[in-house]
Structure 1
Amino acid sequence: MSESLSTTVQGYLEEFLNNWIYMDDRYYSRSGAEASVSDTEGSSFMFSIGVDEYLEVVELYVITLLATTLKHTDLAISWVEKAMLPLEKRQELLRRLQSTNSPMVTSSSQTSKSPQLPDEFFLRDQKPFNE
C-alpha cells in the first residue's frame, strides 16, 4: 500500500472508530445518541452495532493497518490502551500486538520465553532455551 493511501485509510478508520460509544454490550453511534436525546417525538431509535462487528474494524485498524502495514505497533498499542473496549478483548489485542512487536526488541535482559505468553504455548517436554 502506498503511504498516501495508508494515511487516507487510517483517517477514515479513526473517524469511524471514534464515532461509537460502548454501552450495554453494544456500540452506539455518537450522532445517533445525540439525535435520540434531542428527539421531541419520544423516539428512542439509535444506530448500534455489536461488539464483534466493532472489533472487526478495530482489528483491521490496529493489527492490519497500524502494526503490519505501517509498522507503527507502539501507536497501535497506545490506541488499544485508550479505546473503549471490553477488558478481555483489550487484553487479547494487546497480547497480539506485543507478540508482533517482540521480535524487534533487542534487549540484553530479554529472555527467550516471552512474558506475554502462557506456559502452555511452549513445548511441555523441553526446558526454555535460557535455562
Structure 2
Amino acid sequence: MGTSAQGPDLWKQIDDAEHYLVSGLFERAISTTLSVSDQIHSTAVENSCDHDELLEMLELVGMVLVQAIKELKRTSEMFVQLKTVYGSVASIPLKIFITGAMMQMAEGSGSDLRPIFEEYLSKWRYTDDQVYVLNEVKNSSSNGVVVTSVMEPEQYFEVAELYTITLLSVVSRETEIAISWTGKAELTEQHRQVHFMLHCNDK
C-alpha cells in the first residue's frame, strides 16, 4: 500500500466501482473506472504512490471495466476503452487482454481483433535474458503510464496461441495466415515448433 493521502481515496473509488458492477449499475461502473484510471496516471506522474500499488489498482479497474462492458453487450468497444485506461494496446495487462479478447470473440466480434492481437504481440521483444520486454516502456517513463514491462515466454505463448489457434484457425478459419504469422513471430524456437504442430493438428 502507498502512504500518500490519495492512495486510500483511490482504493475507495475502486471499491465503489466494484459495488456498482455487482449492483447492475454498469454505466456507473464504467464512468468510475475511467475516472479512477485518470487519477492513477496523474499520481504516477507525481510519483506520490508506489508503482506496484498503482499497477494493482489499474488491473482491478480494468477487470471491472471489461465485465461492465460485457454486461452492456458493448464488447465491440472493449479495446477502445482499454486503450483509454492503459495508454496503448501493448500496455494492457495480460490477464485483462486475454479476458477482453475472449469476451469479444464470444460475442461474435472476433473480426475486429486481428489488428489488436498483432499490435499487442509486435510490441514485445524476446531478449538474451529469456524474457519478453515491452518496447514502449523506454518512451513512457514520464507520462503517467503504469505498466508491467516484462513478460515470461509462457505468457507470450498464451497470447500467441489465443490469436493463431483460437481466433485465426478456429473462429476465422484462416489457418494459412496463422501459419504464416507463426513463422515470422517473435517466438522462441520451442514455442514456434509447438505452434506448427498445433496448426497441423487443427487441419
- Residues 43-95 of structure 1, C-alpha deviation per residue, up to 9 Å, x if partnerless? xxx81111111111001000000001100000000000001111111001101
- Normalized per residue, which structure has more strand? 1
User: Which residues in structure 2 correspond to 1:1-131 (within 5 Å)?
Assistant: 5-23=109-127, 24-34=129-139, 47-101=149-203
Find the aligned partners of 1:10 and 1:83 in 2 and give their Cα distance.
14
* SS of 2:109 mapped into structure 1: helix
Deviation of the 1:16 alpha carbon: 0.5
Deviation of the 1:7 alpha carbon: 2.1
Deviation of the 1:34 alpha carbon: 4.9
Deviation of the 1:35 alpha carbon: 5.4
Identity over aligned pairs, percent = 32
Find the aligned partners of 1:63 and 1:57 in 2 and give their Cα distance.
10
* SS of 1:71 mapped into structure 2: coil
Alignment RMSD = 2.3
Deviation of the 1:100 alpha carbon: 1.0
Change (3 A) 1:74 1:10: same
Amino acid at match of 1:26: V
Is the CA contact (8 Å cut-off) linking 2:111 and 2:172 kept in structure 1? Answer: no
> 1:124 matched to which residue of 2?
none
Which protein shows a greater Rg? 1
Amino acid at match of 2:154: D
Find the aligned partners of 2:177 and 2:169 in 1 and give their Cα distance.
8
Q: TM-score, normalised by structure 1?
A: 0.63
Unmatched 5+ residue regions in structure 1? Answer: 40-45, 102-131
